[in-house]
Amino acid sequence: MHLHGLDIGIIVGYFIVVILIGLWVSRKGAKDLDSYFLGGKSMKWYLLGVSDASGMFDISGTMWLVYALFLYGMKSIWLPWMWPTFNQIFLMMFMSAWMRRSNVMTGAQWMQTRFGSDRGGTLAHLSVVLFALVNVIGLLAYAFKGIGKFAVVMLPWHFTAATTGIFTDENVYAMILMGLTSLYAIKGGMVSVVITEVMQFTILTLTALTIGAIAIVQVSPEMIARSIPEGWMNPFFGWTLGVNWDGILHTANKVIAQDGNEFFSIIIGLMFFKGVLASLAGPAPNYDMQRILATRNPREASLMNGMVTVVLMFPRYMMIAGITVLALAFTMPQLQSMEKPDFEKILPLVLSEHVPTGVLGFLLAGLAAAFMSNFAATLNAAPAYVVNDIYKRFINPNAGGKKEVTLSRIVSIVFLVIGITFGLLTNRITDVMMWLVGSLYSGFVVANVLKWYWWRFNGYGYFYGMVAGIGGAMVVPELAKYLIEHNATMHELFKEGFNMIYTFPVLFVISVIGCIVGTLLTKPEDDAVLKKFYKTVNPWGWWGPIRAKVMAEDPSFVPNHNAVHDLTNVAVGIVWQLCLVTLPIYIVLRQWSWAGGITVLLLLTTGFIKFRWYDRLEKAVD
C-alpha cells in the first residue's frame, strides 16, 4: 500500500507523542510494587474503566470481529460469548465488589485469603501463577499475530523478500511495534499504561464513529443486500448456522466449515454454559483483574466494570460494522478473485483502499492505539505474578521498592521475548484465540467457581483441579486432532474443521474430578482462614457451617442472601449488553425497524439496571 506523506506524518507523530507521555508519567509508577502494578490504588474509577475498555479494544480482536460479522452476519453477535464478553456484567453486578474487598495485589495473592498459607494454599497459589503466566504468553502471541497482519497490509515499507517462514514482513512489523509499545509499558507500569490508554481510547472512539459515518454515507442498504446471503441480517438461528454463501462468495463457506461452527445451536449452548461458569469464577488473572484491584473501594470496582460496557460496546461495534459494510460494498470482486482469501485481513484491506487521505492517518493511529492499549495492559500484568507471587513470597520477602520495580521490568522483557517467539510460530489469529478461550479457559473455570461458593473446597482441591484443567487444555485438543485424523467417524464429522469449544465437556469433567478428589481426600481449611475470608468478602453460596460460626461470634454480621437479586440483574444486564452491541450495527446497516426496537429495549433495561443495581450499590466507607 502507498501511504500519503500526511498519513505517515500523523502515524509517526502519534507514536512519538504516546511514548513520550508514557515515559513522562512513568515516574509516578516506579516507587514500589503497589504503585507499579496498581497505581497506589488512588486512580479514579472512570479512568480505570476507560483504560480497561481501551485494553479490550485490541486490534487482533477487532480484526476477528470484522471477520466474524462479514462471514456470519448478525449471528456473529453470539460468538464473543466464547470469551465470554458478558463476564463484564457479572463483574459489574457483584463479582468486582467481592474481589476488591480482598484488598490484594494479584489473583495469586488472593489465594492466601481463601486458602491460607499452608501447603494446600501454597499449591493453589502456584497453580494460579502458572495459569496467569501461560495466559499472558498466549495473549502476547495473539496480539503479535494481529498487529503483524494489520501492519503488513497498511504500512508501505518492506524489510524482507520472504513470504513464508519466521522473518516475513508481517512478523518484522509485529516485533517493531511491540518493541516501541514496551518502552513506556515496562518503564512506568500501571500509571503509564492507564494515562496513555485514556488518551488512546479517545482517539479510538473518534476513529470508530468516523468509520461508521463513512459507511453510512457511502453505502446504501441496496448495495449491502446484493452482497449478502439469505439470513445474514437476522441474529436468530436454528439447529445449524443457516448462512450459505454459494453463488456469492463460495470460499466463505469453506472458512465457516474450517471454524467448525456449522452446528450453531450446540456451539452457542456450549459457549453460554462455559461462559456462565467462567463469569461465576471471577476475572481471569490478567489486566481486567488488575484494574479491579487498583480501584479505591468495592463500590468503585463495580462502577468501573459498568463503565467498561457503556464506553466500549457502542463505538467498537460502530467501527466493526463500518468496516464490514465497506467490505461488502467495495471489496467483493477482489475477494471473489482470490483462491484463498484471508478474511482476517478484511479490516486493513478496507482501510487501504476506501478511506480518504488524512482521515486514514488518524484511523491508523487509532487502530495502533487499539494494539498498544491491549498489549501494554497484557505485558504489565505478567511481572506482578513473578515478582510479587514468587520472588517476594519464596525468595526475598524483604526486597526494597526500587529493586522490585527493576526486577519487574526485567521480567516484562523476558515475557515479551517469549510472547514474540510463540507469535512467530502461529499462523492464524483465530487459532490462538480459540485455544485460549476454548481450551485453556475451559480448564480454569471449575476450580475458580468452587473457590467462591463452597466452603469445603480447599487448596489441594484447587491445585489438583487447576493442574488437571491446564494439563487437559494442553493434551485434549491434540488428542482430538489425532482422533479426527485416525477415526473414521470423527473424521467424517469434523473433516472440514473442529471448534475447540467441543473440548469443554471433557475438560469440565477432568477438572471436576481433580477438584472433588483433591478436596475430599484432604482436610478442610482452618476455620480461622475460612471465617476471615467469609466475613471480609461476604459471598453468597454454600457457606452454611462457616456462616453459623461467624454469626455466633458476631451477631451483628449481615450475611449475603442476594443470589437471586444479583443473578436477575445479570440476566437483564446481558440483554442490555446485547442491545449496546447490536444497535450500532443496525444503525450502520440502516435497518431502522431493528434499530428502533433495540433502542426501546435498551431504554427499558437501562431503567431496570438503574433502580435495581446502581441505586443499591454499597456506599464507600473510608
As a whole number of angstroms, the distance between CA 31 and CA 287 comes to 20
Q: pLDDT: is 457 or 165 the higher one?
A: 457
- Segment 505-513 shows an average pLDDT of 95
Positive or negative: CA dihedral 129, 132, 138, 140: negative
- Average pLDDT in the chain: 86
Any idea what the Cα angle at residue 240 is, between residues 238 and 243, rounded to 5°?
95
As a whole number of angstroms, the distance between CA 522 and CA 513 comes to 14
The per-residue pLDDT for 187 is 53
The per-residue pLDDT for 498 is 84
Is residue 373 very low, low, confident or very high in pLDDT (cuts 50, 70, 90)?
A: low
Which of 345, 371, 367, 36 shows the shortest CA–CA distance to 180? 371
- Segment 402-409 shows an average pLDDT of 78
AA letter at 20: L
Lowest mean pLDDT among 81-85, 199-203, 366-370, 513-517: 366-370
Q: pLDDT: is 329 or 370 the higher one?
A: 329
Task: Name the DSSP class of 395.
Answer: I
Q: pLDDT: is 369 or 283 the higher one?
A: 283
DSSP per-residue codes, 423-462: HHT---HHHHHHIIIIIIHHHHHHHHHHHHHBTT--HHHH
Model confidence at 38: pLDDT above 60: no
User: Where are the extended beta strands (E) located within 85-200?
Assistant: none
- Segment 334-349 shows an average pLDDT of 86
Q: CA torsion, points 390, 392, 396, 397, in degrees to nearest 10? A: -140
Residue 335's alpha-carbon distances to 127, 171, 220, 233, 360, in angstroms, are 46, 24, 20, 21, 22
The per-residue pLDDT for 620 is 53
276: three-class secondary structure by DSSP:
helix
Residue 490's alpha-carbon distances to 241, 352, 494, in angstroms, are 20, 42, 6
Q: pLDDT per residue over 53-78, tens digit each?
A: 876 777 778 889 999 999 999 999 99
CB atoms within 10 A of CB 531: 17
Is residue 36 very low, low, confident or very high in pLDDT (cuts 50, 70, 90)?
A: very low
Which of 377, 342, 289, 300 shows the shortest CA–CA distance to 88? 289
Which of 2, 14, 113 shows the shortest CA–CA distance to 368? 14
Model confidence at 554: pLDDT above 90: yes
The per-residue pLDDT for 59 is 76
- Segment 158-176 shows an average pLDDT of 79
Grid cell in block for residue 114: 481463601
Task: Name the DSSP class of 619.
Answer: P
- Integer distance in angstroms from the first to the last C-alpha of the chain? 56
As a whole number of angstroms, the distance between CA 72 and CA 252 comes to 9
Beta bridge partners of 454: 542
Q: pLDDT: is 403 or 253 the higher one?
A: 253
Model confidence at 179: pLDDT above 50: yes
As a whole number of angstroms, the distance between CA 509 and CA 498 comes to 20
The per-residue pLDDT for 400 is 66
Q: CA torsion, points 286, 292, 293, 297, in degrees to nearest 10? A: 180
The per-residue pLDDT for 285 is 67
- Segment 451-477 shows an average pLDDT of 94
Q: Which residues, 6+ apart, have CB-to-CB distance to 188 below 8 Å?
A: 22, 23, 25, 26, 27, 28, 29, 30
| pLDDT > 90: percent of the chain | 46
The per-residue pLDDT for 286 is 65
DSSP per-residue codes, 59-95: HHHHHHHHHHHHHHGGGGGGGGGGTTTTHHHHIIIII
The per-residue pLDDT for 491 is 82
- The most confident of the ranges 120-134, 151-165, 205-219, 584-598 is 584-598
The per-residue pLDDT for 561 is 94
AA letter at 322: G
Q: Which residues, 6+ apart, have CB-to-CB distance to 321 below 8 Å?
A: 69, 212, 215, 584, 585, 587, 588, 589
Q: pLDDT per residue over 514-548, tens digit each?
A: 999 999 999 999 999 999 999 999 999 999 999 99
Which of 278, 255, 258, 304 shows the shortest CA–CA distance to 97? 304
For 340, counting Cβ atoms within 10 Å of its Cβ (0-12 exposed, 13-18 middle, 19+ buried), the class is exposed
Helix (H) or strand (E) holding 404: helix 401-424
Lowest mean pLDDT among 244-248, 294-298, 339-343, 456-460: 339-343
Q: pLDDT: is 176 or 460 the higher one?
A: 460
Is residue 307 very low, low, confident or very high in pLDDT (cuts 50, 70, 90)?
A: very high
As a whole number of angstroms, the distance between CA 58 and CA 319 comes to 12
Model confidence at 184: pLDDT above 70: no
- Segment 214-229 shows an average pLDDT of 95
The per-residue pLDDT for 622 is 41
Model confidence at 116: pLDDT above 70: yes
- Segment 585-596 shows an average pLDDT of 97
As a whole number of angstroms, the distance between CA 163 and CA 378 comes to 29
Question: What domains are there in the chain, each with its CATH number?
Answer: 5-233+266-525 (1.20.1730.10)
Which of 415, 372, 421 shows the shortest CA–CA distance to 181? 372
Q: Which residues, 6+ apart, have CB-to-CB distance to 537 below 8 Å?
A: 98, 101, 102, 113
User: Where are the extended beta strands (E) located within 147-191?
Assistant: none
Q: pLDDT: is 382 or 413 the higher one?
A: 413
Model confidence at 84: pLDDT above 50: yes
Grid cell in block for residue 362: 488518524
Give the position of cell 461458569.
277
542: three-class secondary structure by DSSP:
strand
Q: pLDDT per residue over 223-275, tens digit each?
A: 999 999 999 999 999 999 989 999 999 899 999 988 888 889 999 999 999 99
